[in-house]
């Protein structure tokens, strides 16, 4: 063992400070369970000192929409769609056993009993830990979602190139 | 037996809450101080060393205790820097 040996812990910490690992997560799904998994990974990574970017697209956009905001689209087709496709982090259905809200309600109750945070709590945690949120402008246009109908704290409204520019530097890229 | 300077209670919380609480708490410590994280989530046995490895803090050890029916884990983490 030489005298110049660097303590591994210190060397790693220094490495962290100069170039943090980056994680990018595409959230396509608007299912409660999937979005929850995305936020659990995001908050875990942020707590490990990684730089995390989440890109919300298609159904995933529902997680960062305010509850009860109607579609801003003028045409009836998109407005009808907006009535069916409701936003709000607390409104997301389970991918299985949703049963018109009954199954999801039961799951939420079990989670509360076990002190498991739900999607709104995990999302707040992610924001507190400095996770970057990007909303997909293409989906926003398609679904008539305006900037005002999104929650506060969305860092960027952008498209695929912004996501790719981030992902290119990432060591972990997930599509959920 | 490691002597901790600060104790953090995460009993009843599942992954990733204990780790997030740890990452917040460790900021309040000065380098050299030891944090004791108490958890009943078995995942902490693997998660805490992994967290230490990627953040650069030092994992001093993990104690396991059996209380009644529940198992309690005590992880000792030494703040290295920042």
Q: At residue A141, does pLDDT exceed 70?
A: yes
Mean pLDDT of B6-11: 95
Mean pLDDT of B38-48: 91
Angle B70-B55-B22 from CA coordinates, rounded to 5°: 35
Predicted local confidence at residue A18, as pLDDT: 54
Mean pLDDT of B57-69: 89
Residues A91/A96/A101/A103 CA torsion (nearest 10 deg): -120
Predicted local confidence at residue A78, as pLDDT: 86
Beta bridge mates, A53: A24, A132
Predicted local confidence at residue A1, as pLDDT: 39
Q: Give the gap in angstroms from C-alpha A114 to the nearest C-alpha of chain B.
A: 7
Express as a percent the part of chain B with pLDDT over 70.
98
Residues A63/A108/A24/A59 CA torsion (nearest 10 deg): -30
Q: At residue A12, does pLDDT exceed 60?
A: no
Q: At residue A47, does pLDDT exceed 70?
A: yes
pLDDT band of A61, cuts 50, 70, 90: very high
Does a structural domain hold residue A136?
Answer: no
Q: Give the gap in angstroms from C-alpha A12 to the nearest C-alpha of chain B.
A: 5
Q: Do A44 and B54 touch (CB under 8 A)?
A: no
Q: At residue A59, does pLDDT exceed 80?
A: yes
Q: Considering only the beta carbons, identify the residue of B14, B20, B58 that sits closest to A9.
A: B58
Q: At residue A98, does pLDDT exceed 80?
A: yes
Q: Residues with Cβ < 8 Å from B5, sequence gap 6 or more?
A: B29, B33, B34, B35
Region at A101 (left for phi over 0; alpha for psi -120 to 50; beta for the rest): left
A64 vs A46: CA distance, rounded Å = 19
Does a structural domain hold residue A27?
Answer: no
Predicted local confidence at residue A83, as pLDDT: 82
Range of the domain at A126: 37-48+64-130
Question: How many Cβ atoms are within 10 Å of A135's Cβ, its own excluded?
Answer: 23
Q: B79 to chain A: which residues are within 8 Å by CB?
A: none
Predicted local confidence at residue A6, as pLDDT: 47
CATH architecture assignment, domain B6-78:
2-Layer Sandwich (3.30)
Catalytic residue (choose from B5, B9, B11, B15): B15
Q: At residue B73, does pLDDT exceed 50?
A: yes
Place of tokens 């293409």: A138
**The model's pTM:** 0.84
What integer best gives the mean pLDDT of chain A? Answer: 88
Domain residue ranges of chain B, discontinuous segments joined by +: 6-78
Tokens of A129: 């830990």
Express as a percent the part of chain A with pLDDT over 70.
89
Per-residue pLDDT tens digits for A111-134: 999 989 999 999 999 999 999 999
**Which of the 8 DSSP states describes residue A150?**
B
Q: A49 to chain B: which residues are within 8 Å by CB?
A: 23, 54-55
For residue B10, the chain A residue with the least C-alpha distance is A115
Lowest mean per-residue pLDDT among A15-19, A118-122, A155-159, A167-171:
A15-19
B68 vs B33: CA distance, rounded Å = 31
Q: How many domains does chain A have?
A: 1
> Using beta carbons and an 8 Å cutoff, which residues of B are at the interface with A?
12-17, 19-20, 22-23, 51-58, 80-82
Predicted local confidence at residue A71, as pLDDT: 81
What integer best gives the mean pLDDT of chain B? Answer: 91
Q: At residue B55, does pLDDT exceed 50?
A: yes
pLDDT band of A80, cuts 50, 70, 90: confident
What interface predicted TM-score (ipTM) does this complex get? 0.78
Mean pLDDT of A84-93: 90
Q: At residue A151, does pLDDT exceed 60?
A: yes
């Amino acid at each position: 063992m030489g005298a110049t040996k660097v303590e591994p812990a210190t060397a790693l910490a220094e490495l962290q400070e100069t170039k943090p690992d980056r994680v990018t997560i595409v959230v396509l799904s608007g299912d409660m369970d999937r979005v929850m998994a995305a936020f659990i990974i995001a908050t875990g990574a942020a707590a490990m000192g990684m730089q995390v970017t989440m890109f919300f697209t298609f159904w995933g956009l529902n997680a960062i929409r305010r509850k009860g905001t109607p579609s801003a689209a003028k045409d009836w087709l998109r407005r009808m769609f907006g009535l069916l496709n409701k936003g709000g982090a607390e409104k997301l259905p389970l991918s299985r056993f949703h049963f018109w809200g009954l199954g999801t309600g039961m799951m939420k109750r079990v989670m509360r009993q076990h002190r498991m945070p739900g999607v709104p709590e995990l999302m707040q945690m992610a924001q507190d830990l400095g996770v970057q949120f990007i909303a997909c402008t293409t989906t926003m246009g398609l679904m008539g979602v305006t900037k005002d109908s999104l929650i506060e704290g969305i860092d960027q409204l952008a498209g695929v190139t912004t996501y790719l520019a981030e992902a290119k530097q990432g060591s972990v890229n997930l599509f959920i | 037996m490691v002597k901790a300077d600060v104790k953090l209670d995460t009993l009843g919380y599942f992954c990733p809450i204990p780790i997030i609480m740890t990452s917040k708490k460790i900021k309040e410590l000065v380098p050299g101080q030891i944090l004791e994280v108490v958890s009943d989530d078995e995942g902490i046995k693997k998660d805490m060393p992994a967290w230490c490895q990627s953040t650069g803090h030092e994992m001093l050890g993990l104690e396991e205790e059996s209380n009644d029916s529940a198992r309690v884990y005590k992880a000792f983490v030494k703040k290295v820097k920042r």
